[in-house]
Chain A
Amino acid sequence: MSTSTPPQKTLSRIAANRLQKELSEWQINPPAGFKHRVTDNLQRWIIEVNGAPGTLYSCEQYQLQVDFPENYPMEAPQVIFIQQPPCHPHIYSNGHICLDILYDSWSPAMTVSSICISILSMLSSATQKARPPDNDRYVRNCRNGRSPKETRWWFHDDKV
């Protein structure tokens, strides 16, 4: 489980404005099943996720930690599960998520809200609760608190 702080620089003015905007939009219209835990830290959001009803994760609650880089949204935020990560074929036991939009396929038109919806969709489409096959090896390699953004991900499953 990694709650380590990535090497953070303070947000640029553009990033701060954009996050301010996202936060106020979230407050008006939060994505269904998510709750933003109010803090005074704009650069790190803690979001509670409720498993969608009718899926393997219904009535389960998880926590996402979203850390924003200095030049957000040109660069993707770092999104990981903290506390007890859900058991899912694309979620490692250290909370790292194998999801292309968080890395290679990131686009500045995406928002925290759209990331949350993608993650919930990924959870909901699971057919079995299992860890990724290479979980142990990967977690061992990340022991020094490496960010998932430094991982060279290989995205192979297009069904989630």
Chain B
Amino acid sequence: MKLHVEGSGSSQAMMQDPELSSHQSQPQQVSEDSQAPPSTTGADGGSFDCNICLELAQDPVVTLCGHLFCWPCLYRWLQVHSICQECPVCKASVEEEKVIPLYGRGKVGSVDPRTKAVPGMNIPHRPAGQRPDTARHADQHYQHHGFNFMAGPGGPATARFGNITLSAGFGLFPSLFGFQLHGFPETTGLGGTSGIHFGTSGPGSQSSHIHTSPPVVPDQQQEALLSRLLLLLGCFVIVCLLLF
């Protein structure tokens, strides 16, 4: 494969591979020469050019009105035009802290943008992105199960029958356990207490999901004991409901 740079003012190159020459190959930007204008002026390019220097945006930031700039270009304009800080394109008001940095993938390790000195002006690092919390999807998954319980060694166990949630805490002495009865379904807090979470959707089908590390795998005996215990509790609840 051979790269051929056309013209003097152009930094576009076309693939000269005989295998690729049959179909239109994508133009590739090769040169990063700051003196030669990058040829993004064609019909294809320009969408990611800074609105001030007209080059492909470096340290790109986007204003709330959606206009793209190099951070140094926009910062310089906001300093020059400090009386009335407005977007150079649409004149919407622009606040320095509210511009959104764009973090692309490429060009890692070329030059640290912070070390790039701009003569005559100290350009600060562009503002950080405003990051919302991570999406929580673990809880939603388990609401599809009509019946589940969780148990950890010495931790509380919660069983849910339809819209009745039953929690039982048992420790070293399984005979001394208390239980609670809730009338409304409640999303069980998964954080910290449970090692294993069992979700059962029907008889015979059982799925297990491991949540926190280190995972603890109970043996069959413990599993049988738990289910018997739960059956006992269920019966007890029904008896209680009938009596009171």
Q: Give the B-binding residues of A (Cβ under 8 A).
A: 13-14, 17-18, 20-22, 24-25, 28, 73-75, 107-109, 111
Instruction: Given A14-B53, A17-B53, A73-B52, decide whether A108 and B77 contact each other with a Cβ distance below 8 A.
Output: yes
Report which of B9, B37, B39, B73 forms a contact with A108, defined as CB distance below 8 A.
Answer: B73
Q: How far is the CA of A17 from the CA of B72 in the complex (A)?
A: 15
Taking a contact as CB atoms under 8 Å apart, the answer to whether A24 and B37 are in contact is yes
Q: Which of B126-175 contact A (CB under 8 A)?
A: none
Number of A-B residue pairs having CB atoms within 8 Å of each other in the complex: 45
In contact, B52 and A108 (Cβ under 8 angstroms): yes
Contact check, A109 vs B88: say whether CB atoms are below 8 A apart.
yes
| Chain B interface SS verdict (over half) | loop
In contact, A107 and B54 (Cβ under 8 angstroms):
no
Say whether B89 contacts A107, CB under 8 Å: yes
How many residues of chain B have a CB within 8 Å of chain A?
Answer: 19
B119 to chain A, nearest CB (A): 8
Interchain CB contact under 8 A, B53 and A18? yes
Interface string of B41-84 (1 = CB under 8 A from A): 10000000001111100000000000100000100110010000
Interchain nearest-CB distance for B76 vs A (Å): 6
A25 touches which of B35, B41, B73, B80 (Cβ 8 Å) = B41
| Any A CB within 8 A of the CB of B116 | no
**A107 engages B88 (CB within 8 Å):** yes
CB-based contact B80/A74 at 8 Å: yes
The reply to whether B51 and A21 form a contact with Cβ atoms under 8 Å apart is no
Q: Flag if B77 contacts A20 (CB, 8 Å).
A: no
